């Protein structure tokens, strides 16, 4: 059994596991985070292989079994590297906990594919090697996507792809209300559109404001789109974002159900056909095609116009620390293969992601013009742990989603809710 390299500090892994548990959301991996870890994809052995002929890869895609294009790619990359790949698939939360435990016991996989908000936690716990150490090439990766895997000035992997949020709209509902979607460019024009929709007897907008990371994920485009920063939750800009959602509920433009909505239940509301807009992600494209009505997609507008930065979802391919550093050379070949330009187009299509490089993004749009809006949204997107927040992010996110819940329920004003959230976040991150 292999152990962590000498000098790596792993004592904080149990604490890290708790931090990770509070920072995960199903929004961040193509809607697969809640996948069944007992599915067919999890049938591969999770034991560490003896010798250099077998390399272990752990991923969060249990919905892709051994017959899938994804697993065939893993096996192909192993063949090209001259090794056998032993793949294990876990639910996202389970994967993170298993990784922390494996690192503690000296059984970390050779290659790890993990939800991007978790990268900084694993890096700070000493579980991952940096790209400086493992020689992974990130030069073609969009900087805003790469930032989600950076901590302390170092990068800890390569994004395999990204998803994010935008606004789906029902063309029939907007037409009945006399709304030209091209007029929706900022908060004021969006609110005006919602007013017209309600007057026409239809429903305005649905989203997820549940009191979990999923709620924070959906709130962030509005928060960042106001110009606010996570280090100052109670800024006038941050308060204005909470006030926007609160006003929508008060005026009946958004349903009270958003307080308990997950992204799945929010989508189900939109799929009913009465809502004009729904905030949701790339992973709903297949469901949108089945909805039974004409739909379109626009970016989430920033307060004063333009595209709001939405949070990036998606995974990073990383190389965990090994005692036998000679293994890194083959691990690097495996990661380079999985994230290569040649493979990226098929991989991102299989996983319902936007590619992390401009070259492949252009090919995606060439194949499917409908992805253009998503490419633009991803270009404007931002990692939740970016700005070197790292493991501070979950400690900020929880007070933030609690504040949104309090304001939407009417128990506190937006100003009071965010002021208390800032106090709690500041205390937790000292």
What are the b/e assignments for 215-238, b being 16+ CB within 10 Å?
A: bbbbbbbbbbbbbbebeebbbebb
- Shared domain check, 318 and 296: no
Structural domain count, the chain: 2
- Shared domain check, 403 and 331: no
- Shared domain check, 78 and 40: yes
For residue 32, the model assigns a pLDDT of 36
Q: d(Cα 343, Cα 322) in Å, to the nearest integer?
A: 26
For residue 192, the model assigns a pLDDT of 98
CB atoms within 10 A of CB 155: 22
For residue 49, the model assigns a pLDDT of 38
Confidence band for 351, pLDDT divided at 50, 70 and 90 = confident
For residue 5, the model assigns a pLDDT of 33
What are the b/e assignments for 114-142, b being 16+ CB within 10 Å?
A: bbbbbbbbbbbbbbbbbbeebebebeebb
- Shared domain check, 403 and 323: no
DSSP labels, 247-276 = HHHHTTSS-GGGGT--HHHHHHHHHTT-EE
For residue 326, the model assigns a pLDDT of 93
Q: 354: which strand partners? A: 162
Q: What is the pLDDT of residues 407-429, one digit of tens each?
A: 999 999 999 999 999 999 999 99
* C-alpha dist (Å) from residue 138 to 146, 148, 189, 336: 8, 13, 39, 10
* Alpha-carbon 217 to chain mean position: 8
pLDDT at residue 357 is higher than 70: yes
Does any domain span residue 118? yes
For residue 154, the model assigns a pLDDT of 94
Does any domain span residue 194? yes
Does any domain span residue 186? yes
Instruction: Give the domain CATH number at 89.
Output: 3.40.190.10
Q: 84: which strand partners? A: 54
Q: What is the pLDDT of residues 36-77, one digit of tens each?
A: 332 333 333 333 333 458 999 999 999 999 999 999 999 999
Does any domain span residue 145? yes
What are 64's two structure tokens? Answer: 């892709």
- Shared domain check, 401 and 257: yes
With left for phi above 0 and alpha for psi between -120 and 50, is residue 31 left, alpha or beta?
A: left
Residue 162 dihedral angles phi and psi, to the nearest 5°: -145, 150
What are 161's two structure tokens? Answer: 């792809």
**Cβ neighbours of residue 59 under 8 Å, at least 6 residues apart?**
41, 70, 87, 88, 89, 90, 95, 113, 315
- Shared domain check, 205 and 85: no
- Please, how many CA atoms are within 13 Å of residue 351, restricted to the half-sphere of its CB? 34
pLDDT at residue 153 is higher than 50: yes
For residue 340, the model assigns a pLDDT of 93
Q: d(Cα 309, Cα 351) in Å, to the nearest integer?
A: 22
In percent, the amount of the chain with pLDDT more than 70 equals 88
Mean pLDDT of 323-329: 93
- Shared domain check, 354 and 418: no
- Shared domain check, 140 and 232: no
For 228, the domain range is 165-310+390-428
pLDDT at residue 216 is higher than 50: yes
- Shared domain check, 243 and 147: no
Q: d(Cα 246, Cα 411) in Å, to the nearest integer?
A: 11
The terminus-to-terminus CA distance of the chain in angstroms comes to 38
- Shared domain check, 259 and 182: yes
Does any domain span residue 4? no
Residue 147 dihedral angles phi and psi, to the nearest 5°: -60, -25
Mean pLDDT of 246-260: 98
For residue 286, the model assigns a pLDDT of 87
- Shared domain check, 295 and 282: yes
pLDDT at residue 1 is higher than 60: no
Mean confidence (pLDDT) of the chain: 88
Confidence band for 89, pLDDT divided at 50, 70 and 90 = very high
Q: 209: which strand partners? A: none
Confidence band for 185, pLDDT divided at 50, 70 and 90 = very high
**Strand stretches in 143-202, DSSP E:** 150-151, 154-155, 158-159, 165-170
Q: d(Cα 108, Cα 86) in Å, to the nearest integer?
A: 13
- Shared domain check, 404 and 255: yes
Q: What is the pLDDT of residues 270-289, one digit of tens each?
A: 999 999 999 999 989 989 99
Does any domain span residue 131? yes
For residue 352, the model assigns a pLDDT of 86
Q: What's the predicted TM-score (pTM) here?
A: 0.83
Does any domain span residue 138? yes
pLDDT at residue 9 is higher than 80: no
Q: What is the pLDDT of residues 97-138, one digit of tens each?
A: 999 999 999 999 999 999 999 999 899 999 999 999 999 999
Q: What is the pLDDT of residues 383-406, one digit of tens each?
A: 999 988 998 999 999 999 999 999
Q: Is 286 helix (H, G, I), strand (E, B) or coil?
A: helix
Rg (CA), the chain: 22
For residue 52, the model assigns a pLDDT of 54
**DSSP code of 311?**
B
Does any domain span residue 223? yes
pLDDT at residue 19 is higher than 60: no
Q: 75: which strand partners? A: none
């Amino acid at each position: 059994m292999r152990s962590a390299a000498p000098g790596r500090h792993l004592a904080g892994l149990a604490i890290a596991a708790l931090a990770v548990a509070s920072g995960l959301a199903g929004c961040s991996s193509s809607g697969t985070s809640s996948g069944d870890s007992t599915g067919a994809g999890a049938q591969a052995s999770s034991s560490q292989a003896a010798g250099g002929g077998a390399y272990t890869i752990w991923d969060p895609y249990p919905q892709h079994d051994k017959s899938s294009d994804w697993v065939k790619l893993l096996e192909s990359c192993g063949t090209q590297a001259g090794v056998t790949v032993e793949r294990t698939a876990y639910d996202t939360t389970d994967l993170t906990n298993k990784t922390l435990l494996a690192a503690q016991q000296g059984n970390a996989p050779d290659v790890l594919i993990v939800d991007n908000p978790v990268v900084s936690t694993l890096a700070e716990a000493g579980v991952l090697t940096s790209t400086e150490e493992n020689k992974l090439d990130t030069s073609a990766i969009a900087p805003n996507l790469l930032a989600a895997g950076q901590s302390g000035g170092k990068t800890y992997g390569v994004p395999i792809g990204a998803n994010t949020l935008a606004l789906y709209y029902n063309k029939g509902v907007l037409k009945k209300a006399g709304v030209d979607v091209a007029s929706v460019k900022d908060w004021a024009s969006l609110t005006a559109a919602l007013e017209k929709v309600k007057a026409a007897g239809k429903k305005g907008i649905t989203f997820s404001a549940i009191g979990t990371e999923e709620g924070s994920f959906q709130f962030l485009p509005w928060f960042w789109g106001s110009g606010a920063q996570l280090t100052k939750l109670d800024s006038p800009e941050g308060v204005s974002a909470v006030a926007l959602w609160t006003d929508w509920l008060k005026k009946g433009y958004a349903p009270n159900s958003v307080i308990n909505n997950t992204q799945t239940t929010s989508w189900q509301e939109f799929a009913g056909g009465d809502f004009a807009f729904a905030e949701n992600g790339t992973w709903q494209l297949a469901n949108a095609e089945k909805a039974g009505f004409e739909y379109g997609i626009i970016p989430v507008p920033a307060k004063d116009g333009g595209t709001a930065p939405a949070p990036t979802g998606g995974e990073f391919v990383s190389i965990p620390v090994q005692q036998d550093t000679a293994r890194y050379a083959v691990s690097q070949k495996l990661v380079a293969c999985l994230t290569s330009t040649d493979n990226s187009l098929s991989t991102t299509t299989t996983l319902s992601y936007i590619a992390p490089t401009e070259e492949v993004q252009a090919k995606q749009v060439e194949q499917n013009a409908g992805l253009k809006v998503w490419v633009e949204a991803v270009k404007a997107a931002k990692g939740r742990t970016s700005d070197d927040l790292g493991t501070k992010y979950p400690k900020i996110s929880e007070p933030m989603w609690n504040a949104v819940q309090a304001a939407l329920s009417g128990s506190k004003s937006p100003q009071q809710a965010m002021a208390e959230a800032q106090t709690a976040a500041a205390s937790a991150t000292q």
